[in-house]
Structure 1
């Protein structure tokens, strides 16, 4: 069995692969667009990624081949408290925690729910912009002493 720890970034990630004896098999930096190749190579392995802004897409890609969990960053305290922090060590620590079964998992909503949430968030932003625009119009009218009834 292999255990992958994946430290995600916007365009690329650092991947650490451990075996059953916690020995490092491979450490690589890979473009996020190519993570599917890593997942295929280690199909059936257990993997851990941290919840970041772009994790849904990566999760969906990895989940096709790996048993992947999303680590709750607020609960993965060991990474935050590490004296030396870098992508390589973060990925290795995620792999070690996954191997030990010590990952506090984040809930990953199904894709349909994610799409609905995105629509609701988008609508909320548009309503807020509309309100801001109305307030600006009212401020300009008030500044020039123009009265209105609405």
Structure 2
């Protein structure tokens, strides 16, 4: 089988280091193999990029290992074609025990055109995906804290949810903030009701008659802060 490129590199990427195996066919037709190890610090990755550029590397391949491949890809893909390969698509090598052997295997497969890179979206799309995932996480976390709040109130014998469905509405927030500040009088707390909730003032006052302890106020304060 003939090589499809004269110079390529296989990378075995880990959290703290990257093992690089460079395969290059010299003008004489002789195959040269060089292995180097770089840390994942930015200055070291820049050194990796400079080494590949100096060697005339045409292609680089690495497995899509967790999130560790991303900073390496971001630094290299502007100067050289980078293939990010699904590890499941690579055949296991019997007896491959070390990171150096992994890098050599990736380089060898790449050299003979036996690797298929995964689709990597453009940078703008990758950034949008990251922001979208973060927003989804924030929304999920907020929902979790919101669901925790009624349990704390129930433990404090405050039945606020029995009178109003929106426990985080404007009236409810004002009452909860007053409770956190130390207000205990149900009548004064009920006076904070707004809108249609004021027509249920008597029921609101009864619902706010509880046994709020110091740890309840602390938990309510923490949960409100997380929900903000």
Give secondary structure in 2 for the equivalent of 1:26.
strand
Paired residues of 2:9 and 2:57 also in contact (CA < 8 A) = no
Structure 2 residue runs of 5 or longer lacking an equivalent are 1-5, 167-228
In structure 2, relative to structure 1, the CA distance for the partners of 1:135 and 1:4 (3 Å cut) is same
Distance in structure 2 (CA, Å) of the matches to 1:114 and 1:84: 33
Q: Distance in 1 between matches of 2:24 and 2:9?
A: 9
Q: Is the 8 A contact 1:4 1:15 kept in 2?
A: yes
CA distance 1:55–1:143, change in 2 (3 Å): same
How far 1:87 moved relative to its partner? 0.6
Which segments of 5 or more consecutive residues in structure 1 lack a partner in the other structure? none
- TM-score, structure 2 length as denominator? 0.59
CA contact (8 A) 1:42 1:66 kept: no
Structure having the higher helix fraction is 2
Q: Following TM superposition, by how much is the alpha carbon of 1:7 offset from its aligned partner in structure 2, in angstroms?
A: 0.4
Q: Quick check: which has more Rg, 1 or 2?
A: 2
Structure 1: how far apart are the matches of 2:98 and 2:32? 16
Residues 10-69 of structure 1: per-residue CA shift (max 9 Å, x gap):
232001111347945211111233222223223342211111213222112222322221
CA contact (8 A) 1:14 1:87 kept: yes
Distance in structure 1 (CA, Å) of the matches to 2:16 and 2:30: 28
SS across alignment from 2:87: coil
Q: 1:102-141 alignment to 2 at 5 Å?
A: 102-141=114-153
Aligned-residue CA RMSD in angstroms?
1.9
Alignment of 1:58-137 (within 5 A): 58-78=72-92, 82-137=94-149
The whole-number CA distance in structure 2 between the counterparts of 1:142 and 1:43 is 68
Instruction: Verify the 8 A CA contact 1:17 1:95 in the aligned structure 2.
Output: yes
Structure richer in strand, relative to its length: 1
Q: Separation in 1 of the partners of 2:89 and 2:143?
A: 37
Aligned equivalents of 1:42 and 1:60: distance in 2? 20
- SS of the counterpart of 2:35? strand
Q: Deviations over 1:103-123 (max 9, x none)?
A: 132111110000100110110
